[in-house]
Amino acid sequence: MAEIKSIGIIGAGQMGHGIAHVAALAGYDVVLNDVAADRLEAAMATIRRNMVRQANRGLIEHDAIEPAVARIGHATDMAALAGVDLAIEAATENAEVKKAIFRDLCAVVSPQTLLATNTSSISITRLAASTDRPERFIGLHFMNPVPMMRLVEVIRGLATNEDTYQAAVGVVNRMEKTIANAEDFPAFIVNRILIPMINEAVYTLYEGVGTVESIDKAMRLGANHPMGPLELADFIDLDTILSIMQVLNEGLADTKYRPCPLLVKYVEAGWLGRKTSRGFYDYRGETPVPTR
């Protein structure tokens, strides 16, 4: 079984910098890669800020911060990942984008490098088939926000071998995360259940059964959810939710997975949630205000 000492992460967005954060705290040498230099700089600042927040809450030691940050290198050139033992793709939830990344990645990494994807819904087998090493390919679906959420779904593709699986399990355990093994079906476990629930909440809004405020209040107080489904949708990003619903709809061919037209409309408007300051809530003022 391959010993993992260094990890490359492609994509410096919310998921990518979160994975870099926990990998560095676990003692791995990390290379964070993104095509945008400003995104890398922002990611490094966020990692440090989040580590300080964890230390202030007593979740990590203050003296662990600087060594962990020092273990994270960053680069816009994918060639910087040439020496890593494991490369984790954490780009946008789009199969063609991910396949293109893996094609470029396979050209620069060692034949022994293990490949993983943080996809939340796309077939691991299909992504693996776009590489030169489907047997050394696996799904590692971290939850958002990565530093706080304990779960990682581990998904084997049809060709994933046992050594790759055991190496991935070792990495997840060293990061002090809990594993849920999932089969390679659309959206795996968490999003197979969660995202249709959010889509149904959007239908409830679309059909006028309740307002944004009443739907979220009902689920917080009536089902004891920490966040209402529409507030959670804004946190996840509405374009990501739509992509997952489309994967479920296409992959399972069941009308219950049809994306709500109102969700489609919000995405078309560019109201994608917190990241664009507007979604089911408007975040441009001091307090969020429902947009419907």
Catalytic residue among 93, 153, 199, 249: 153
Q: H-type helices in 107-211, by residue range? A: 124-128, 162-174, 190-206
pLDDT for the residue numbered 152: 98
Average pLDDT of the chain? 96
Task: Please give the structure tokens belonging to residue 33.
Answer: 């890669």
Task: Provide the token pair at 121.
Answer: 């819904």
Active-site hit among 33, 120, 199, 249: 120
Percent of the chain with pLDDT over 70: 99
Does 120 participate in catalysis according to the annotation? yes
The burial class, CB within 10 Å (0-12 / 13-18 / 19+), for 83 is middle
The reply to whether 6 belongs to the active site is no
pTM: 0.91
Select from 114, 68, 124, 120 the least CA-distant residue to 88: 114
Give CATH superfamily name and number for 6-182.
NAD(P)-binding Rossmann-like Domain (3.40.50.720)
Mean pLDDT along residues 48-69: 96
110 in active site? no
Q: Would you state the pLDDT for residue 3? A: 86
Instruction: Give pLDDT tens digits for 187-233.
Output: 999 999 999 999 999 999 999 999 999 999 999 999 999 999 999 99
Domain boundaries along the sequence of the chain: 6-182, 192-290
Predicted local confidence at residue 134, as pLDDT: 97
For the sheet with 151-156, list strands across it: 72-75, 29-33, 6-10, 86-89, 114-117, 137-142, 151-156, 178-182
How far apart, in whole angstroms, are the C-alpha atoms of residue 127 and residue 253? 20
pLDDT tens for 254-267 read: 999 999 999 999 99
* pLDDT exceeds cutoff 70 at 1: no
Catalytic member of 6, 191, 199, 249: 191
Q: Average pLDDT, stretch 157-171? A: 97
CB 84 within 8 A of CB 6: yes
Count of helix runs (H) and strand runs (E) in the chain: 11, 10
DSSP class of residue 57 equals T
pLDDT of residue 6: 97
Cβ proximity of 290 and 211 under 8 Å: yes
pLDDT at 124 over 70: yes
Write down the catalytic residue from 141, 231, 243, 249: 141
CATH of 192-290, one of 1.10.1740.10, 1.10.1040.10, 3.30.470.20, 3.40.50.620: 1.10.1040.10
pLDDT of residue 254: 93
Is 176 one of the annotated active-site residues of the chain? Answer: no
Instruction: Name the percent of the chain lying above pLDDT 90.
Output: 98
* d(C-alpha 158, C-alpha 201), whole Å: 34
